[in-house]
Structure 1
Amino acid sequence: MVYPKTGSLIVRDGREMTYTHIQANQTPSRSVCFFFPGASYSFDRPYLYYSTMLFLSKQIDLVHVNAAYGKDIPDFETSSFAKRSAWISEDVKTVVFQVLDQQEYEHVFFLGKSLGTVPIACSLLKEPRFSRSSAILLTPLLREELVVADLLALEQNVFLVSGTADPHYHQPTLERIITSKPNIHRYLPQNAKHSLDIGLQVDLSLQVLQSIMDELGCFLDKSLDI
């Protein structure tokens, strides 16, 4: 049994941003993970759904942040990547800080999918209070120079997943990470797309899902032991 509760606050331009704070037990855990979805990848999609199950099975509380940025926000759509990054980061930091002001945790994780990885790499992990946090970046935007520069500056433990058939996969960036950032643990499934599926091949896609969850489980265990 889990114990969810919802919350909301007002962010940029007077918009309401909601979140769901899920406790693994009746009392708060020692650890929490903030989840940030992709632009069209919601919490009921496979990788966020099973990641949620995995974190809760390890007694880690969760906060699903409903950070939605679509065509209903025209200013966002027409802004530069740098401005969109700053916009998202400002909004989600408001949620993160509010939750942590209400409940203290010893260890903070961040998990993002695609666009949801941007505020993690480009903002949250730069905060001194998160210097010992850990992050999971599912299909990050490795062709964006802003993201790459911030990734290469990170000192925290990071688990990065990028499929080789993902349009955001970028071999030169990954080679720089491999040679200079031992703190960034990489998992690069062959032929996996941005969804981390492999074409229409169900068996192979499920094998990738299982292997990523296994790798993530090991990453969490090591992070919790630090």
Structure 2
Amino acid sequence: MDKKIAVIFPGMGYHVDKPLLYYSRKLAVQYGYEIVCAQYGTLPSGIKGDAKKMYAAYEMALGNVTDQLSKIDFAAYTHVLFISKSIGTAVAASYDANKGIGAGHVYYTPVEASFQAIGKRGIVFHGTGDDWAKTDVIVEECQKRGLSLFLTEHADHSMETGDALNDLEIMKTIMKETEEYIKGFSNNREMLKNTL
């Protein structure tokens, strides 16, 4: 019988009950995933535009997550899905690479530095108005890895535009794409294992 687990990796100020992670978590539950929400502990503030602070925050978050998830035997699961946001994309990708899990990945608004860890499996969402990451860099990095990239015009780092009803439409589109990825990943796990 399939045994599935999804780990949610939040952003710095984007916690697991904010829209992208709230709805993607609900989708994962619908597809039979047990949910674990990663905890980073207290991280340095004011990291935007400061590469040193951002790296320090990433290292602290990764250390705390590694401790927290050490009790989970990921090998006991047929499907491991990581859903991540912003700096959480770097943490999720690094943790996966370090542990050799081979998880499926949903990356919401990765920061440019995340691509130092992001591999060739997953789906990426980015808004062209995101001032944490340049669109041309995200496009290039996704192309290098063969990752599916979904761009939303004018959307910011939260995948929002400031127009509430438009933002709801954007969220619906993102969740439809997220669901397609989760469904495909959940159905094709054996095929994915053979490509590792």
Q: Deviations over 1:179-211 (max 9, x none)?
A: 3221x2111111111111112x12210011000
Residue 124 of structure 1: how far off its partner (Å): 1.3
Residue 78 of structure 1: how far off its partner (Å): 11
Q: 1:14 corresponds to which residue?
A: none
Q: 2:182 corresponds to which residue?
A: 220
> How many residues of Structure 1 are paired with residues of Structure 2 in the alignment?
184
Task: Say if 2:29 is the partner of 1:61.
Answer: no
Instruction: Give me the whole-angstrom Cα distance separating, in 2, the residues matched to 1:80 and 1:66.
Output: 19
Task: Say if 2:103 is the partner of 1:139.
Answer: no
Contact 2:90 2:117 in 1 (8 A): no
Q: 1:165 corresponds to which residue?
A: 129
Contact 2:40 2:60 in 1 (8 A): no
Residue 38 of structure 1: how far off its partner (Å): 1.4
Please provide the CA RMSD for this pair. Answer: 2.4
Alignment of 1:127-206 (within 5 A): 127-130=98-101, 132-142=102-112, 144=113, 147-151=114-118, 154-155=119-120, 157-182=121-146, 184-199=147-162, 201-206=163-168
Instruction: Give me the whole-angstrom Cα distance separating, in 2, the residues matched to 1:110 and 1:172.
Output: 25
* Greater share of residues in strand: 1
Contact 2:8 2:36 in 1 (8 A): yes
Contact 2:39 2:68 in 1 (8 A): no
- Residue type matched to 2:38 in 1? V
| TM-score, structure 2 as length reference | 0.83
Equivalent of 1:114 in 77, 86, 91: 86
After the TM superposition, list the runs of 4 or more consecutive aligned residues in structure 1 that deviate by more than 6 angstroms.
Answer: none
Alignment of 1:4-153 (within 5 A): 30-70=3-43, 80-100=53-73, 104-121=76-93, 123-130=94-101, 132-142=102-112, 144=113, 147-151=114-118
The verdict on how the C-alpha distance between 1:85 and 1:58 changes in structure 2, with shifts beyond 3 A counting, is same
Q: 1:209 corresponds to which residue?
A: 171
**Identical counterparts, % of pairs:** 20
Instruction: Give me the whole-angstrom Cα distance separating, in 1, the residues matched to 2:43 and 2:127.
Output: 24
Instruction: Give me the whole-angstrom Cα distance separating, in 2, the residues matched to 1:149 and 1:220.
Output: 24
- Choose 170-179 or 50-59, whichever is displaced more: 170-179
Q: Secondary structure at the match of 2:167?
A: helix
Tell which structure's C-alpha radius of gyration is larger: 1
Residue 70 of structure 1: how far off its partner (Å): 4.2
- Residue type matched to 1:214 in 2? K
Q: Deviations over 1:24-48 (max 9, x none)?
A: xxxx961111112111112221111
Q: Which structure 1 residue ranges, 5 or more long, are not aligned?
A: 1-27
Instruction: Give me the whole-angstrom Cα distance separating, in 1, the residues matched to 2:138 and 2:173.
Output: 20
